[in-house]
Structure 1
Amino acid sequence: MKQLVSVSCIALLCVCCATVLADEKSKPRAKPPGEWPRDVREVFFDDAAQQLVGGRPDYGEVAAARVAAASGGSTSSGGDSGGSGDYAWSKLVDADTLETEIKRQLTPMQPLVATPAAFKGGGYRDCRNRFTWLATLFTVAGDYDGRVRWQDTATALGQLYGRAGANCKVGTDQSFRESQLRVQDLADLVRGGRPDAPEAKPDVGWDQIADRSPLMRRMESCLGEGISPKASDRRALSNNSEDLRHEAQLMALMAEVIMQPGFDYADDESYRNHSTQLRDASVALTQAIDLENFEAAREAIGNMQKACSNCHDEWR
């Protein structure tokens, strides 16, 4: 009986909805006026674009100005080596992005050091890339011009993971044991502990912290996998805005890092120009995402791809 009542109720509801829709369609609709009344015409402009002052905003210039403020008035930082604290990294990447990216390295690293066979069978290469990336992130965190988690020990951790990355150029018993320790340190850090890291050494430059090749691999995956496919249209940009913003900030960070003293070609004008263009375009992408401006975002991504392509054509 209850089932029959439910079916009857549903049928009655459908009939009611159909009746309402039919009534709505039968209602007469007012036609738009052939000419708007004078009082309306006096309020609105015939062509609003002609009343605007100045040109459309140049997001590239906005990004350059933002980065110039970060580097003390110049679009090319020329900052000191790791540990200087002279560069306003917060203009490129926020503290939450730094913390999140550091935490994200733990899960993919644990299987790489689960067994000696996994490590020596190729895991050591991925460990090298991720340790170098962690060394970069920690070093920036140590220099960060705002409050960021683990800042008091970040410089020492940057040196520690930089050494582990360098030792993972080969898969040996020694590099395996060191890698296990560094992954465990990261696990302790993420869970709220404090790894037993030695004190940071003074005057350690970027050449002792991060090799350029692992960073270049991270940059390629950042643009090719983390950015370009996720901003193919307006809906994709909206749905992936959080991930896109995360990757855009990291790209800006890396573009600045590879211009630091200690990296190969860091003092070459052409190389710095390519890196500066990539950094500025990455900042512009972050701003376009914040504004939900799809056209500006696609333009920024195009400029990022162009900067990378021009640099590879010249330096590979």
Structure 2
Amino acid sequence: MATWLALQACGCGGAKEAPAPSNESAAPAAAKPATPASAAEPAAQASTSAKAGDTKSGDTKWINDIPYDVFYDRPLEVAADGTVVGPTTPAPSPATPQPQPDMTPDSTPPAGTGSDSDDAGGSEIDWVAIAPVDTLAEELTVLRNRLTANLNTVATYNRNIDQISMDATVLGAIAAVLTQHQGESRWDENAKFIRDLAYDVWISADGTGSKAFRATQEPFENILTILSGGPPPPGRESDDVVPFADIVDRGEMMRRIEVSFNSLKSNINTADRLRESADDAMRELTVLAMFGAMMQTPDYDSADEPNYRNYATSFVDGSTAARQAAQSQDFDAFSAALNKIQTSCGECHGEYRSGGDGF
């Protein structure tokens, strides 16, 4: 496990091929070296799929001598912006209103959800402690709104391809965790479809233009239908549980970890700022803890090595402690936990940074 740490001059990069996912989608590709970026405009990446014909490409974009993926001043606040841009299809009439997704957890989900198989790994993780369902629901709302805005038109798609790619990774990761989460949510029955459709969004967000836009927008519209209580696409088949490594690229996780940590470290630097941004901080730290736990599952490279697991465990512990400090608004404990995260990342990078998938 690793990320970015204090060496901001060094990003996470590399290339790795993952096993093909259980449905018809290609295996997730690996991210190229990640350039620090804000939550609203991450760095461009290049990755390749194990399935012939499915590729992700795109070197870092420049405007004159300025990299396109520069930071926003307040990236955490940009990431939390839940403003919804109008739909890509004509608005429904009052007689046939469009159902809105209910993003709150349901204490009585439909019966018959989940899988009896533990082969994919991750079922033994205490997801209730690491990634509470309520907080995952809040992150789903942010992701849904931002993806809706960025997939509104060809122009918004072209401007935000990298953010769409990163958000699809997080969306797919949350859905994958929900297939194994010990808590209950209203998405349990269809989380596996959201997981695989989010992967389709990720692999399709490649290149500009109307063709790439439509290929990316279609699976996301299917996700919106499911989140609104509708069915998955007709004929779509998805395994109940799959290895995280088949569906969530570790290089992309590293990019989001770097963005989130840099935002937390730079933007929440006083007790007052922690009080103002506690909810956003808790959400970001939940994503970090979730990623740290996922990366310890067997199908990721080095996950069977004791040092790797120790670093990853320290990262998860630091993320969880920082979230608890944000909840209690204890700035000293919050800062100490962020330092623990940074230390674990630095030590892990020192030993494992030569990995080939952005690690």
Shorter-chain TM-score tier: 0.5 to 0.7
1:207 matches 2:251: no
CA distance, structure 2, for counterparts of residue 230 and residue 173 of structure 1: 36
User: Which of 236, 243, 257 is the aligned partner of 2:280?
Assistant: 243
User: Which of 140, 148, 171 is the aligned partner of 2:185?
Assistant: 148
Taking only the aligned residue pairs, the percentage that are identical comes to: 25
1:253 matches 2:276: no
CA distance, structure 2, for counterparts of residue 169 and residue 269 of structure 1: 36
CA distance, structure 2, for counterparts of residue 149 and residue 210 of structure 1: 22
1:101 matches 2:139: yes
Preserved CA contact (<8 Å) 2:201 2:217: no
CA distance, structure 2, for counterparts of residue 147 and residue 111 of structure 1: 29
- 1:30-109 alignment runs, 5 A limit: 82=120, 85-109=123-147
User: Helix, strand or coil: the match of 2:189?
Assistant: helix
User: Which of 264, 289, 297 is the aligned partner of 2:334?
Assistant: 297
- What residue identity is the alignment partner of 2:247? I
CA RMSD of aligned residues (A): 2.6
CA distance, structure 2, for counterparts of residue 188 and residue 313 of structure 1: 44
Change (3 A) 1:288 1:114: closer
Preserved CA contact (<8 Å) 1:141 1:154: yes
Preserved CA contact (<8 Å) 2:326 2:334: yes
CA distance, structure 2, for counterparts of residue 205 and residue 246 of structure 1: 24
Q: Which residue of 2 aligns with 1:113?
A: 151
Offset, 1:172: 7.6
- What residue identity is the alignment partner of 1:127? I
Preserved CA contact (<8 Å) 1:282 1:301: yes
Q: Which residue of 1 aligns with 2:195?
A: 158
Preserved CA contact (<8 Å) 1:265 1:271: yes
Task: Could you tell me which runs of 5 or more consecutive residues in structure 1 were left unpaired when the two chains were aligned.
Answer: 1-79
Offset, 1:160: 2.6
Preserved CA contact (<8 Å) 2:193 2:232: no
1:181 matches 2:218: yes
Question: C-alpha offsets along residues 93-140 of structure 1, whole Å, 9 cap, x if unaligned?
Answer: 211111111121123223443444654x46443332222211101011
Preserved CA contact (<8 Å) 1:81 1:260: no
Q: Which residue of 2 aligns with 1:33?
A: none
Q: Which residue of 2 aligns with 1:222?
A: 260
TM-score (norm 1): 0.66
CA distance, structure 2, for counterparts of residue 81 and residue 174 of structure 1: 37
The alignment of Structure 1 onto Structure 2 pairs a total of residues equal to 235
Offset, 1:271: 2.3
- What residue identity is the alignment partner of 1:219? I
Preserved CA contact (<8 Å) 1:159 1:208: no
Change (3 A) 1:257 1:296: same
Larger RCO, structure (CA 8 Å, separation 6 or more): 2
Offset, 1:309: 2.4
1:266 matches 2:266: no
CA distance, structure 2, for counterparts of residue 172 and residue 114 of structure 1: 13
CA distance, structure 1, for counterparts of residue 206 and residue 348 of structure 2: 25
Preserved CA contact (<8 Å) 2:296 2:309: yes
Preserved CA contact (<8 Å) 1:188 1:195: yes
CA distance, structure 2, for counterparts of residue 192 and residue 203 of structure 1: 21
User: Helix, strand or coil: the match of 1:279?
Assistant: helix
Offset, 1:82: 4.5
CA distance, structure 2, for counterparts of residue 304 and residue 184 of structure 1: 36
Offset, 1:307: 1.5
- What residue identity is the alignment partner of 1:215? M
Task: Could you tell me which runs of 5 or more consecutive residues in structure 2 were left unpaired when the two chains were aligned.
Answer: 1-117, 354-359
- What residue identity is the alignment partner of 1:140? V
CA distance, structure 2, for counterparts of residue 167 and residue 127 of structure 1: 10
- What residue identity is the alignment partner of 1:313? G
Structure holding more helix per residue: 1
- What residue identity is the alignment partner of 2:277? N
CA distance, structure 2, for counterparts of residue 83 and residue 171 of structure 1: 36
CA distance, structure 1, for counterparts of residue 292 and residue 243 of structure 2: 17
Question: C-alpha offsets along residues 195-222 of structure 1, whole Å, 9 cap, x if unaligned?
Answer: 4272322663222211111111111111
Preserved CA contact (<8 Å) 1:230 1:244: no
1:132 matches 2:188: no
